[in-house]
Each structure stands twice: as C-alpha cells, then as structure tokens.
Amino acid sequence: MNKNIQIATVGGGCFWCTEAVFQEVKGVEKVVSGYAGGNVPGKPTYREICSGLTGHAEVIQITFDANIISFEDILVIFMTTHNPTTLNRQGADRGTQYRSVIFYHNETQKLISEEVLKQLQPHFSDAIVTELSELPTFYEAEAAHQNYYRENTQQGYCSFVIEPKLAKLRQLHADKLVEI
C-alpha cells in the first residue's frame, strides 16, 4: 500500500509533552520538536524562546501517513491531551511560548481545523482559545529537546507532567495507538 505522507504542526504547551503523546500514535512516522510563530528573524534558541520575547511557540511537527491516521484524528488527539481553554498556559508552564496553536500547512488543513475546533467546543466548559494560523517558518529545536521523554523518563517533569498526559491519551484514544 502506498503511503500518503502529510505534516501537521501544533503547539500545546511544552513540546516534550506533545512529542511524547504523538510518538505513541499509529501512523505517525516522525515527531520533531521545534519553534514557530515568532516575530524576530532567524532561528531562535531555546533560551530565547523561554524569555517569551521572540513570540515563538514551542511546537511539534508530526509527519504521518494519512492512510493510517487522518489529520482530523491528529487534531482530536491533540485537542484532548492538553487544555485548549487556557491562554498562554499549560499547567505550571506560563507564557506565549506555551500557547495552544494549530499551524495549518494548506487551505484543507485550515478548514478541517476550523471544523474540529467547532465540533469539540461543546465538550469543554470554557471557550477554546487555540490559535489557528498559517504555518510560518518552522525551526527545529536543539538536539537535547528531541525524543526528550523517551530519553529522560526518570526526570521529575516526565513523571509528574508528561505521564498523566500519556495516561489520558491511552484512556481516550487506545484504538489509535501503536501496539507495544
């Protein structure tokens, strides 16, 4: 069967969390942590992003086979494994770099994103504040931020922040996960 490779770019707080979530999803070929949506030229560093002054969000770029998982399913998993109702915040992480955002790659992704946001809104008691924007330049994060959860499972952040998101993923989307 031929593959139908597509790319999605989303940010839902710390990229270590969203990266770990999508590494477990069937049909996902690759997940790369990075930055997008800033207002300063050139490739930013993690330290610059953390200052909140560049306007970039921590995001992941998901390469997936649309014959196995749809863009719509990617978005539903994304929207239900982070809190899309808190502006510039996920848990204790605060700042514009932690905003909830979908960066669409084309008009089709934009339309699907708008529809998913509309369909999911009734399932949240607060308004969804997820930003929807055309993808600007995506900058890959430094090597230390790639595959973070898998290489640092004993870190406190992984235990206390990432593992509950993975538990939620496994509970809500078991049928979409890679069999371990």
Q: Which residues are catalytic?
A: 14
Coil/strand/helix, residue 129: coil
Nearest to 11 by CA among 47, 56, 67: 56
**CA 77, 82, 87, 93: dihedral to nearest 10 degrees?**
-140
Which residue's entry shows tokens 């998901």? 62
* Alpha-carbon torsion (69, 74, 76, 81), positive or negative: positive
Cα–Cα distances (Å) from 143 to 26, 113, 131, 140, 154, in that order, read: 24, 30, 27, 9, 19
Give me the numbers of helices (H) and strands (E) for the chain, helices first please.
7, 8
Q: Tokens representing 180?
A: 């371990």
